[in-house]
Chain A
C-alpha cells in the first residue's frame, strides 16, 4: 500500500539552528500538508501546498517556516531559527485531489534543546 514517508524520524537540534524535515508524499497525490502535534496536545494544521505554492496556512506558520517541493518527489518543511516551543512531532500528509482524504506519514519528532 502506498504511504507517505518522512525523514528523519527523530532530530535533536540546538535552539537557533535551522532544521529541514523531509517528506515523500504518495506518488499520484497533488496536495501536500504539514501538521504538528506538541506532546499531549491536538494535531494542528500548519500549511497546505498545491501546484508549487502555498494554498492555506495557519497562524502558527509564521516567517520562520517555509515549505518547498525541490523536485518531483520530495516536500520539505524548513524551520529557520528553531525555538524551544517548536519541539513537536511534525506530520507530512498528502491527498490525491482537493476533495479526497488525507493520508499521514509516521512523523518526524523534533526536539529543540
Chain B
C-alpha cells in the first residue's frame, strides 16, 4: 500500500463550482498536512498547512483533516479558471528532525469558464 494516495484526475468543473480534492494515507505517524498548488513546470506553492484534525479555512479554501480515517481534503469554493492547476497533498511526521514531506501524486484540476 502506498504511503499517500491521491486520485490523479483529471477533474474538470465549471466556474463557480465547489471542488473537493482528497488524499488518504496509511502511516499514522504523519502529523502535519499540507496542500500545495503546482502550475505546469513550476514549483509547488503552499496553500494550506494544518496540524490537528478538524477544519481550517483561508478565503475560498478549506482544509479538512480526519486522522482517525487517515483522510484529508481540500475544498475550493467559487472555483475560478485561475484555480486550474495540479493540487498536491503533502504530509510529514512528527518533529524531532528536519521534516521531509511525502507527496501525493497530484490531482489535475481544470475550471472551465
Residues of A within 8 A of B (CB): 4, 31, 33, 35, 41-45, 48-50, 55-56, 58, 89, 91, 95, 98-99, 101-107, 109
Please, which residue of chain B has its CB at the minimum distance from the CB of A4?
B43
Q: How far is the CA of A102 from the CA of B49 in the complex (A)?
A: 10
Q: How far is the CA of A98 from the CA of B100 in the complex (A)?
A: 10
Please, which residue of chain A has its CB at the minimum distance from the CB of B94?
A99
B-side interface mostly: loop
Which residues in A have their C-beta under 8 angstroms from that of B46? 101-104
Please, which residue of chain A has its CB at the minimum distance from the CB of B34?
A101
Q: How far is the CB of A64 from chain B (nearest CB, A)?
A: 20
Q: How far is the CB of A37 from chain B (nearest CB, A)?
A: 9
* Inter-chain contact B98/A45, CB cutoff 8 Å: no
The 0/1 profile, CB within 8 Å of A marked 1, for residues 69-113 of chain B is 000000000000000000010100001011111111110000000
Contacts A102-B46, A103-B46: A43 and B95 contacting too (C-beta < 8 A)?
no
Residues of B within 8 A of A (CB): 34, 36, 41-46, 49, 88, 90, 95, 97-106
28 cross-chain CB contacts under 8 A: A4-B43, A33-B100, A35-B101, A42-B105, A42-B106, A44-B103, A45-B100, A45-B101, A45-B102, A48-B97, A48-B98, A49-B98, A50-B98, A56-B97, A56-B100, A98-B97, A98-B98, A98-B99, A99-B95, A101-B34, A101-B46, A102-B34, A103-B46, A104-B36, A104-B43, A105-B43, A107-B43, A109-B41
A-side interface mostly: strand
Contacts A43-B88, A102-B46: A107 and B101 contacting too (C-beta < 8 A)?
no
Partner of B97, one of A45, A55, A58, A107: A55
